[in-house]
Structure 1
Amino acid sequence: MNFDTDGAALHAGAALSILEGLRNVTTTLSPDRAGIRLHGNPALRRILATPAIGAIAKSYLGPAARPVRAILFDKTPATNWSLGWHQDRTIVVRERHEVPGFGPWSRKADLQHVEPPFAVIEAMLTLRIHLDDVPADNAPLLIARGSHGAGRLTDNAIEALVSRCDKYTCLASAGDVWAYRTAIVHASAAAQGSDHRRVLQVDYAASALPSPLAWLGI
């Protein structure tokens, strides 16, 4: 996989040194939700500040790269789901301020979300840190290669793009990190087995938002 052309790249074993710490963080979280939005967790901040992860983000976005959102996903027999082909289009900010181009607004897990101009999404990076093995039957991420450069797409346009794009299955072992452009079109199936499928998804940005908006961070 070529990051520039495909929009994604695997960093095999990059998170092995922090794997135990991340697993310890997740043991305190409720397992009954599809996605747990993480904010205000000092232990997680310390872990993500280590060179193991920070260096990956900076290699793509430059030295100003910083984490701006973190979500833990765990597909189990009790909490399982699938996601069709889509783009991630929202960010999390500290407070709501009406700024041209930003909207609609929503609240998830009592955090303020907003859809920004798509150029903001296109400038971001997402890291998926795998806490468990993700073979083909454990709901690996699916990506439409090269779709990160297609701009903001309607649902019909996404369907048409996926029909002609090369699809790639992002298999992983515990400790692997998948990096991809946040704007990439992606999907995932429901898990088929009984194993955990814990993935910490962390979004990174290198630029400030237009004042008075500000990234919430982690």
Structure 2
Amino acid sequence: MNLATLEQEGRVWKRRALSGASLAILDAAIAVEDRPGQRLNALDGLAEINALAACLLPNARPVRIIAFNKTQDANWALPWHQDRVIALKERVETPAFENWTNKDGVWHAEPPIEFLQRMIFARVHLDSADPENGCLQLALKTHAQGRIAVSTADSVANAACVEDCVAERGDALFAKALILHRSSPSRTNTNRRAIRIDYCADPLPPPLEWAA
């Protein structure tokens, strides 16, 4: 993997990142419910992905894990957006940590933008992904524009090079946390399972703690 590509484009791919043994562990470990995402506190089978993340972000640790399965029965679309919140164990009012929300019993807050600029996420594909089953789309290089308002996300993305994240089972995508992304509904009756892992190397200001 090329760190320069991650910094310049906002993403880098590792094709065939997972061994068959790791994929089998993940297949058995996730039972995704009929909703957009299932949050997980821990997950076996990610050692290879964690090692790759550490190559791109030294001392990276997984701080949030979400499993997805998009089908015609559990289907959704997301507009262009940035993911700007982190999952925390408790709500503790802390300078520059804003927009607190509680999602499924887990507290989330938006940290300072400098914090997010140093984070990455991985997307591990347990099934193939393409435009037919609602694969992720990235607006390349938009991670470098800092905080992008919801009202301007479409225009910023439309001015960028948009990539369909076409993937095979076992492929892994690593991306900067602030890159604009979206996905369309699936038009097939097949599974489109994926796991997203957020990574951070920075410590949280006490007394904040990661939820994961």
The residue correspondences of 1:38-49 to structure 2 (distance < 5 A) are 38-39=40-41, 41=42, 44=43, 46-48=44-46
Counterpart residue number, 2:25? 21
Q: TM-score, normalised by structure 1?
A: 0.91
Whether the 8 Å contact between 2:32 and 2:67 is mirrored in structure 1 is no
Residue 145 of structure 1, aligned match among 134, 140, 149: 140
Q: Please state how far the C-alpha of 1:138 moved relative to its aligned partner.
A: 1.3
Are positions 1:180 and 2:187 aligned together? no
* Matched letter for residue 20 of structure 1: A
Question: Is the contact made by 2:32 and 2:69 (CA closer than 8 Å) also made in structure 1?
Answer: no
Residue 75 of structure 1 corresponds to: 70
d(CA) in 2 for partners of 1:135 and 1:158? 23
Specify every segment of 5 or more residues in structure 2 that has no aligned partner in the other structure, as ranges.
none
Equivalences for 1:13-162 in 2 at 5 Å? 13-17=16-20, 18-26=22-30, 29-39=31-41, 41=42, 44=43, 46-48=44-46, 50=47, 52-62=48-58, 64-162=59-157
CA contact (8 A) 2:13 2:171 kept: yes
State the alpha-carbon separation in 1 of the partners of residues 6 and 60 from structure 2. 17
Instruction: Give the TM-score taking structure 2 as reference length.
Output: 0.94
TM-fit CA distance, 1:143: 0.5
Q: Aligned partners of 2:131 and 2:99: how far apart in 1? A: 36
Could you list the runs of 5+ residues in structure 1 that have no partner in the other structure? Answer: none
Q: CA deviation at 1:159?
A: 2.1
1:60: Cα distance to partner? 1.0
Paired residues, number: 208
Instruction: Note the C-alpha offset of 1:158.
Output: 1.5
**TM-superposed deviation, 1:160:** 2.1
Moved more, 149-158 or 194-203: 149-158
Query: What is the aligned partner in structure 2 of residue 12 from structure 1?
Result: 15
